[in-house]
Chains A and B, each alone.
Chain A
């Protein structure tokens, strides 16, 4: 059989069609360029990350609490009755004269001496150790 250029071209095109038919071609939306909208993934991802970060920080702060937070402290107010009044009160009904109006200023010695508990012995510092409760 005599082979012409057209025969060669026709046979080459038939071979091409056969080969092309056997190819497995991926659809366009399955290619790498196709991405989910970024915001649709970013928002839930941020929520999940935030949740776990919150859980983690919560567990961290518990172990780092100050020692005082482990103790319930009850503060007791101790009433101190003044032994001497700070000022003298006039009971006169008549209008006071200038000389009568003079009030006597309390002296320093009339104040009860407040003693700071620091540096004192436990017997005198007036702290109710029995009311300190450990957690």
Chain B
């Protein structure tokens, strides 16, 4: 008796393994799981240009599809996906001459900033602050807090030491708090 294959219960890595062996359905399932979130990542990183974000998301999956046979067991799928996405962003900014001089290490003092602000304006303020965050900081914040990748995965994606990723994330958080304070003071 043939039992229909339930791809939805399989992990990303199992699906990628199937896709590497030629399963189109497995790849489509992966796409359905991650496309929206990846497109959102691009939309936030590329300045709310939804068409460009859709193209970049599409490009990322095409690259993944082309390289699917190179997938080896044990490799984290999301880390691989976002490594491709990160490189696409980096190339885009390099071509646009926007990025990516390394952030200055001492822009914000490496201390915890206490923040108090009105809850009603907090979300709007955060939205504004995240939108205007410098690209390298915004990228790290996005990868760690929005896309929920681990420090180790981000270190692999960005080719930075884990310690550097940690300290930069800490500084990003301080930058955000500082700008939120400035926002409330306006």
Q: A interface vs B, CB < 8 Å?
A: 1-3, 5, 7-9, 11-16, 19-20, 23-26, 28-29, 31-33
Contact = CB atoms under 8 A, between A and B. Distances in A.
B28 A19 contact: no
Nearest to A31: B58
Interface in B29-54: 31-32, 35-37, 39-40, 43-44, 50, 53-54
Interface of B: 27-28, 31-32, 35-37, 39-40, 43-44, 50, 53-54, 57-58, 61-62, 65, 114-119, 122-123, 126-127, 130, 141, 145-146, 173, 176-177, 180
Nearest to B48: A19
Contacts of B44: 16, 19
Contact of A8 (B27, B54, B61, B173): B173
Given A3-B177, A13-B146, A16-B44, A31 B62 contact: yes
A8 B43 contact: no
Give the dominant DSSP class at B's interface. Answer: helix
A19 B43 contact: yes
Give the dominant DSSP class at A's interface. Answer: helix
A3 B179 CA distance: 13
A15 B145 contact: no
Given A23-B40, A26-B54, A32-B58, A13 B115 contact: no
Contact of B39 (A1, A14, A23): A23
Contact of A23 (B50, B114, B117): B50
Contacts of B130: 12, 15
Contacts of B119: 1
Given A5-B173, A13-B146, A29-B28, 10 more contacts: A2-B114, A3-B117, A7-B122, A8-B173, A8-B176, A15-B130, A16-B44, A23-B36, A23-B39, A31-B61
11 contacts: A3-B180, A8-B126, A8-B173, A14-B123, A15-B123, A16-B44, A20-B36, A23-B43, A28-B27, A28-B28, A31-B58
B177 to A, nearest CB: 7
Contacts of B116: 1-3
Contacts of B31: 28
Contact of B62 (A8, A14, A33): A33
A28 to B, nearest CB: 4
B122 A26 contact: no
Contacts of A26: 54, 58
A1 B116 CA distance: 5
Contacts of B127: 15
A83 B119 CA distance: 135
A16 B127 CA distance: 10
Nearest to A21: B36
Contacts of B126: 8, 11-12, 15
Nearest to A19: B40
Contacts of B28: 28-29
Contact of B118 (A1, A23, A25): A1
